[in-house]
Amino acid sequence: MVTPKSTKPASAERRLAELGIELTPAPIPFGAYVESVQTGNLLYLSGVLPAIGHEPKFVGRLGREYNVEQGREAARIAALNVLSAARNHLGSLDKVTKVVRLVAYIATEGDFVAQPKVADAASELLRDVFGEDKLPVRMVLGVASLPLGVPVVLEVLFEVEA
């Protein structure tokens, strides 16, 4: 994304503002773990849920309690929590130099096979914030259940300024 006043790509923080996204405070872990760990120039975020505050926003499985669009909303909320946790750790999302990897775990029922479409909501948000050139590799897995009964859990690996 090029801004009208500059030939430099817009920053992630600027893109958030342009998209009208105000991040909530970083998620509070639901157990004995931390939301993010940095080693060198890699920032790991794992087990990020679609929670608002300290409550899961969705509880159930896709193909049973939720449809694809509801699953996409859960994935988007989890991705917003990824951004909040990364900003909390780094101080600014502008320190992200690449989104390396996205893993989306999708709790499904029966013959539900639209897991990639659900995961696209997280990928699309990351693309909109960081730019097409920083898109990650991605793995999408359908599973029988996830912690607290949520339908989506994300794992993200960022490359960051050292």
**Side chain identity at 156, as an amino acid letter?**
V
pTM of the model: 0.93
Helix or strand (DSSP H, E) at 120? helix 115-130
What's the farthest any 2 CA atoms get from each other in the chain? Answer: 52
pLDDT per position as a tens digit, 27-68: 999 999 999 999 999 999 999 999 998 999 999 999 999 999
Mode of pairing for the β-strands spanning 42-48 and 152-160:
antiparallel
- pLDDT over 50 at 10, yes or no: yes
Task: Give the start-to-end residue ranges of the domains of the chain.
Answer: 12-26+36-160
Q: How confident is the model at residue 8 (pLDDT cuts 50, 70, 90)?
A: low
Name the superfamily (CATH) of residues 12-26+36-160.
RutC-like (3.30.1330.40)
